[in-house]
Amino acid sequence: MKEMLKFKEPLKALSLFCNVGIAESYFKEIGVDVKVANELLPERAKFYSHLYPDVNMINGDITDHNIFQKVISAAKRSKVDFVMATPPCQGMSCAGRKDPKDPRNILVYYAIEAIKIIKPKFALIENVPMQQHTKINYKGKDVFIPEYVEAELGDSYTFNTERVVNAADFGVPQSRKRYIYLMARKDQNLIWNFPKKEKHQITAQEAIGHLPSLDPLLREESERWRFPDYEKKKKAGLKISKWHYATKQSWKLVELMMHTPSGKSAFLNDHFFPKKNGRRVKGAPRTYMRMFWDKPATTIMQNSDVISAFINVHPGRVVVDSDDDRERIYSDARTLSIYELIILSSLPTNWNIPEWADEKLIRQVIGEGIPPLLIKKAIESLIKEYQSC
DSSP state of 168: G
According to DSSP, the residues that pair with 57 across neighbouring strands are: 37
What residues pair up with 289 in beta bridges, in sequence order? Answer: 265
Alpha helices in the chain (DSSP H): 27-30, 42-51, 65-77, 108-118, 145-153, 204-208, 230-240, 251-258, 338-344, 359-368, 372-388
Phi, psi of 112 (to 5 degrees): -65, -45
Render 306-373 in DSSP notation, one character per residue.
-TTSBT-B----EEE--SSTTT-EES--SBPPHHHHHHHTT--TT----TT--HHHHHHHHHHSPPHH
Compute the distance between CA of residue 287 and CA of residue 311 in angstroms, rounded to an integer. Answer: 6
Active site residue 89: yes
> How far from the centroid of its chain's Cα atoms is residue 191's Cα?
26
Q: Count Cβ atoms below 10 Å from residue 374 Cβ, excluding itself.
A: 26
Q: Which residues contact 20 (CB under 8 A, 6 or more apart)?
A: 39, 44, 47, 48, 51, 365, 369
Judge contact between 111 and 83, C-beta under 8 A.
Answer: yes
Catalytic site residues?
Answer: 89
